[in-house]
Structure 1
Amino acid sequence: MEQAREKGRRWVISTKDEMLQAVIDVADEGKKRVSIFTHDLDPGIYDDPDFLEIIKRMVLRQSYARIRVLIADPSRAIKNGNKFVHLGRRLNTYIEFRHVREDLRTHAESFCIADETALVYRLQHERWEGIADTYEPAVAKLYGKMFDEIWQASEVEIEFRQLGI
């Protein structure tokens, strides 16, 4: 269900395929920054070739582009060799991963924000149901502020350093 508006579009997501397309659409809106809060890099979403191509294209076109990723539980991504992690190693000037501090892992949601304007949001990270919007600056800034606070409190852990991140 898509909502017609003057600027941007909003739609409801209920499946993994819809979530993947929403993440691709929202990331494609970004010109300088993408911020991702995820519990395990969502296999099949953040390692999708189309998503990775958008991220790679963004950082190679804009020297000031930044991709920041907060991961609550990186063990699965590390164990399975996530392609986004490998891209981050190669483009580590632009892509940074941080492990969410244990006392801040109470957040059940998962989201992706592009340029403080577009976002994909899931209330429960283990479910695909959510909402996407290509122009919702007020909500994107609200989640961006929460992301920034968690980002500042999180650090790169030894697991990440061993991967070269």
Structure 2
Amino acid sequence: MGLAREKGNRWVMSTKDEVRQAIIDITNEASWKLSIFTHDLEDGIYDHPAFLQAITQLVLSQTYVRIRVLVAETPSPTKNDNAFIELGRRLTGYIEFRRLPKNLRAGSHTFCIADDIAVAYRLRHNTWDGIADTYEPPVAELYGNIFNNLWQESQISNNLPHHAPQER
């Protein structure tokens, strides 16, 4: 018999709609920091109106918010009509985008971490299979460390907004 959870919710994702809803739910859990690692800004996920509303609400509801987005594949200039990129251009003091250098292998996973506590992750970016949890600090810390290491090696891209927020 397993132990009952005291906090949070965990669920399995297997469709694009489930992943989108998980990303929105994890974003809604954030109160000061959101870290996103995506391979290609995933059409229908990070440009969905409900996600953009969650990001906007996060920024408007807090004095200090840091949203970092790490993109493995640099979007082409034609993909600059992405609504998340446009929101990043308008909220440059809060959202920072970077890209991975081509020579840096980041694995095939993708994830979204809120406040080092909540996390949605997929082991392979080319499938929708994954897990989301609104309270899993050890897993969020693991992926947060991966994210921070990749962030340190990342680069500013001319195709992405890059005005960094001030450090705390």
Which residue number in structure 2 is paired with residue 47 of structure 1?
47
Which residue number in structure 1 is paired with residue 24 of structure 2?
24
For residues 146 and 72 of structure 1, the distance between their equivalents in structure 2, rounded to whole angstroms, comes to 13
Which residue number in structure 2 is paired with residue 124 of structure 1?
124
**Cα root mean square deviation, aligned:** 1.9
Give the structure with the higher percent helix: 1
Deviation at 1:105, TM superposition (A): 3.2
Q: Secondary structure at the match of 1:102?
A: coil
Go from structure 1 to structure 2 and tell me whether the alpha carbon gap of 1:71 and 1:61 turns closer, same or farther (over 3 Å shift). Answer: same
Q: Secondary structure at the match of 2:37?
A: strand
For residues 4 and 82 of structure 2, the distance between their equivalents in structure 1, rounded to whole angstroms, comes to 36
| Contact 1:10/1:133 (<8 A) preserved | yes
Count of aligned pairs between the two proteins: 161
For residues 98 and 163 of structure 2, the distance between their equivalents in structure 1, rounded to whole angstroms, comes to 13
For residues 163 and 78 of structure 2, the distance between their equivalents in structure 1, rounded to whole angstroms, comes to 15
Deviation at 1:164, TM superposition (A): 8.2
Deviation at 1:135, TM superposition (A): 0.2
CA distances 1:69-109 after superposition (whole Å, capped 9, x unpaired): 00011325x42311000000000100000011222234100
Which residue number in structure 2 is paired with residue 88 of structure 1?
88
Runs of 4+ in 1 over 3 A off after TM superposition: none
Q: Structure 2 length normalisation: TM-score?
A: 0.89
Q: Structure 1 length normalisation: TM-score?
A: 0.91
| Contact 1:41/1:74 (<8 A) preserved | no
Aligned AA for 1:146?
I
For residues 35 and 19 of structure 2, the distance between their equivalents in structure 1, rounded to whole angstroms, comes to 16
For residues 29 and 46 of structure 1, the distance between their equivalents in structure 2, rounded to whole angstroms, comes to 16
Which residue number in structure 2 is paired with residue 71 of structure 1?
71
Aligned AA for 2:57?
R
Q: Secondary structure at the match of 2:108?
A: coil
| Contact 1:4/1:10 (<8 A) preserved | no
Which residue number in structure 1 is paired with residue 143 of structure 2?
143
For residues 59 and 135 of structure 1, the distance between their equivalents in structure 2, rounded to whole angstroms, comes to 21
Deviation at 1:120, TM superposition (A): 0.5
Deviation at 1:152, TM superposition (A): 1.1
Which residue number in structure 2 is paired with residue 8 of structure 1?
8
For residues 29 and 60 of structure 1, the distance between their equivalents in structure 2, rounded to whole angstroms, comes to 14
Identity of aligned residues (%): 53
Deviation at 1:18, TM superposition (A): 0.5
Give the gaps of 5 or more residues in structure 2: none
